Structure 1
Amino acid sequence: MNRLIYIFFFFFYTTIYANSELYESDLYYLEENEVLLYKVLNWWSTKSQENSIEFCFNNLRVRSNKTLNLDYDRKAKILKIYLKEEFASLVSIFENKSTYLKTDYLNRSYFKSLKPKNIKRIDMISLNNISFSEYKKIKSMKKNLAFELEGKIAGLLAYTGQVSLHKSGDFLRTCPNNSKEKFDISFKLLNIKTKEILVKYNKKN
């Protein structure tokens, strides 16, 4: 009996810990309301919801909730800003390997000589031609830096179970065609304390 009680509490607390770790890694917002996205996706994937379009075209925003890491090469003047964990793992933004996000905005108050560069991943950005003084400035605000991804929901993918921000793919839950809906995607590095955007990338759809 004692063994059964121990096993029950072990799995109970392990489940809570696992879910809290998932929740802590990324913050998900549907139309400005914070949600546990994995629960939303689990509900949407059930057979009883096979005709549901409740979340179609909703705005989805994901913000990293763990401290970003900085790696600066003073000789090459390259600053890498990254997460050790996968970012926005419940979301699909690249429909194929040739898809990329294009630089849309560079904050010249922080990066005077930084040149635009396309990116194909959202867990790390590499910034070239960064002076040591610029790096020190970024380092001083490290605890306030975050990645933020934003787009509109286009459906639920069949094999990965991810929510899709693009219109192409093998869908388990497909959103209706609507020519007026634009599925633009934006990805930012921002200071969550001052609300400043340091770098912004986007993809127009």
Structure 2
Amino acid sequence: MNKLICILLLFFNTSLFSYSQLYESDLYYLNKNEVLLYKILNWWSTVAHENSNEFCFSDIKVRSNKTVDLKYDKKTKILKISTKEKFADLISVFENKNTYLQSEYINKKYFKSLTNKKINNISTICLKNVSFNEYKRLNKIKNDIAFELEGKIVGLLSYSGKASFHSRGDFLRTCPKKIDQKFDIGFKILNIKTKEIFIKYFSKNN
């Protein structure tokens, strides 16, 4: 009940500031409810809530809310799609530099010969072997292109204060271990108007 009240209050607060600079940053959803995630993390980090685990294993979705940048190199055929600010900065996705998300789906209607298979950065995506015509097609609709990240909260990291999608690290708040619990992580680039997915990356049982 307390969790529901907290979520509703945060959602209401988001609505009040719908035209503020804060609202223009990434959009965070907790169990399908739009929230100000930094407030939840601040609440969880206080000593008074050190034994709280009510947000453990909650589903989190993050969507970019500003126009992405597209930069294309004709010589190398590399297309870089990036957000102007660090995407999903309140979430720790990668355990270390050797952790990756693997490409799971590539929309062949937009990328006929795409070669990249994995990523370890979700703020700038480098796509290799993209033709100039493919780039132009995407550039025409870049205002509709967004990044989207999904995963489950498995703890609160002590150093960065971020919610973690991975189960290893130095935690300020830990979640109880569940042997059968899956910590899948999904990241995709999509058209927010048509819901069409351009490319999707995935990490299973992270």
1:23 deviation in Å? 3.4
C-alpha distance in structure 2 between counterparts of 1:48 and 1:75, whole Å = 57
Write the deviation string for residues 67-121 of structure 1: whole angstroms up to 9, x where unpaired. Answer: 0000011222111101121111110011111111111110001101112421110
- For 1:61, the equivalent position in structure 2 comes to 61
* Counterparts of 1:129 and 1:98, CA distance in 2: 24
Q: What's the CA shift for 1:64? A: 0.6
**1:1-205 alignment, distance < 5 Å:** 20-205=20-205
Pick the structure with greater CA Rg: 1
Distance 2:57 2:145 in 1: 28
Q: Percent identity?
A: 63
Whether the 8 Å CA contact 2:152–2:184 is kept in 1: the answer is yes
SS at match of 1:134: helix
Q: Matched residue of 1:48: which SS?
A: helix
Gaps of 5+ in 1: 1-16
C-alpha deviation, 1:22, in angstroms:
4.0
Task: Measure the CA separation in 2 of the matches of 1:41 and 1:23.
Answer: 17
Bigger Cα displacement from structure 2, 165-174 vs 72-81: 72-81
SS of match in other structure, 2:88: coil
Structure 2 unmatched runs, 5+: 1-16
Query: Does the 8 Å contact 2:116/2:128 carry over to 1?
Result: no
Task: Provide, for residues 32-51 of structure 1, a one-character-per-residue CA deviation record: whole Å limited to 9, x for no partner.
Answer: 10000000111111111111
Using the TM superposition, give the Cα deviation of residue 26 of structure 1 relative to its aligned residue in structure 2, in angstroms.
0.4
Task: Quote the offset at 1:131 in angstroms.
Answer: 1.2
State the SS of the aligned residue for 1:75. Answer: coil
State whether residues 146 and 192 of structure 2, in contact with CA within 8 Å, keep that contact through their aligned partners in structure 1. Answer: yes
Supply the AA of the counterpart residue of 1:122: I
CA contact (8 A) 2:185 2:204 kept: yes
TM-score (norm: length of structure 2):
0.88
Aligned with 1:40: secondary structure?
Answer: helix
Q: State how many pairs are aligned.
A: 189
Work out the CA distance in 2 between the residues paired with 1:153 and 1:165.
5
CA distance in 2, matches of 1:199, 1:47: 41
TM-align CA RMSD:
1.6
Shift of 1:203: 1.1
Distance in 1 of aligned mates of 2:78 and 2:69: 14
